[in-house]
Amino acid sequence: MNHSIYKINNVKVIQPYIVEVLFSTGEKRIIDLEPVLYGPFYSPLRDVTLFKRVIVNHEVHTIEWPNGADFDPATLYNWDIDREEISQRLKELEMV
């Protein structure tokens, strides 16, 4: 089974909750994270000041925030496919 490994080289906040992510493949993705900002790690990112503090962690090649929130690079690469499922799961966790 072939599993692609994705690495993030750069991230830029372009609007509240929207980031531009540059992958090591040279591809860029514009990702709206607002639909998944639920749960103990992600809901604090609704604070725009905290959201803007996103960085690339070059040790694990993904984006992260000072509160420990992060995303798997493969999830971000496949965001259009995975977004709805992630959003639903995080909303369910928030209700618990």
Q: Domain count of the chain? A: 1
Q: Is residue 2 part of a domain?
A: no
Residue 3 lies in a domain: no
Q: Does residue 49 fall inside a structural domain?
A: yes
pLDDT tens track for 40-91:
889 999 999 999 999 999 999 999 999 999 999 998 998 887 666 666 666 6
Per the domain annotation, does 13 fall within a domain? yes
Under 8 Å CB-to-CB from 35, ≥6 apart: which residues?
A: 83, 84, 87
Residue 1 lies in a domain: no
Domain with 50, as residue range(s), is: 8-95
pLDDT recorded at residue 91:
64
**82, 27 Cβ separation under 8 angstroms:** no
